[in-house]
Amino acid sequence: MGKTCFVCALFAALVLEPAARAGAAPSATTLKSVCRVKGQEENTLQGMGIVVGLDGSGDGGNYQPTVRSLAKLMSVMGEQLGPRGVAELRDAKNVALVVVTATIPAAGARQGDRIDCTVASIGSARSLAGGRLFLTPLVGPDRSDPRVYALAEGPVTVDGDTMLTTGRVFGGARLEADFFNPFIKDGKITLVLDENHAGFGTAQEIVETVNSQLGFGTGGMTPARAINQQNIEVTIPEHYSDDPVLFVSLVLRLPLLQPASEPRVVINERAGSIVIGGDVQIGPVVISHKNIVIEAGGAPDAGGGFVALDPAETAVPRLKAMVEALNAMHVPSADVIEIIKGLHRNGKLYGKLIIE
CATH number for position 19: 3.90.76
Residues 6+ apart with CB under 8 A from 29: 255, 256, 258, 259
Residues 222 and 159 both lie in one domain: no
Cβ neighbourhood burial of 286 (10 Å; 0-12, 13-18, 19+):
exposed
Domain containing residue 342: 264-355
Q: What is the pLDDT of residues 31-65, one digit of tens each?
A: 888 899 998 888 899 999 999 989 888 887 777 78
Report helix, strand and coil shares of the chain as percent, to nearest 5: 25, 30, 45
**Which residue intervals of the chain are DSSP H helices?**
3-11, 17-20, 64-76, 200-214, 244-252, 319-328, 333-345
Are 76 and 117 within one domain? yes
Last residue of a domain, which of 154, 175, 196?
Answer: 175
Residues 224, 319, single domain; the answer is: no
Burial of 98 (C-beta count, 10 Å sphere; 0-12/13-18/19+): buried
Instruction: Show which of 175, 192, 214 is a domain's final residue.
Output: 175
Quote the pTM value: 0.63
pLDDT digits (tens, 9 = 90+) for 69-107: 777 777 777 666 666 656 666 667 888 999 999 999 988
Identify whether residues 204 and 304 lie together within a single domain.
Answer: no
Among 225, 257, 289, give the residue marking a domain's end: 257
Of 341, 282, 271, nearest in space to 310 by CA: 282
Looking at the fold, whether 224 and 243 belong to one and the same domain comes out as yes
Instruction: Give, for all 356 residues of the chain, the pLDDT tens digit.
Output: 444 444 444 443 444 344 434 443 445 688 888 899 998 888 899 999 999 989 888 887 777 787 777 777 777 776 666 666 566 666 678 889 999 999 999 888 999 999 999 999 998 889 999 999 999 999 988 778 888 999 999 999 998 777 899 999 999 999 998 888 889 988 999 999 988 788 888 899 899 889 888 876 556 678 899 999 999 999 998 888 889 999 999 999 998 876 666 788 898 888 888 888 767 888 888 888 777 777 776 554 444 444 455 555 555 678 888 888 888 888 888 888 888 888 888 888 888 888 88
Domain co-membership, 203 together with 109: no
Same domain, 121 and 145: yes
48 and 35 fall within a common domain: no
**Domain shared by 272 and 346, yes or no:** yes
Whole-angstrom Cα distance, residue 227 to residue 76? 52
Q: Please indicate, yes or no, whether residues 64 and 16 belong to a single structural domain of this protein.
A: no
Same structural domain for residues 329 and 296?
yes
Tally of structural domains, the chain: 3
Q: Answer yes or no: do 135 and 26 share one domain.
A: no
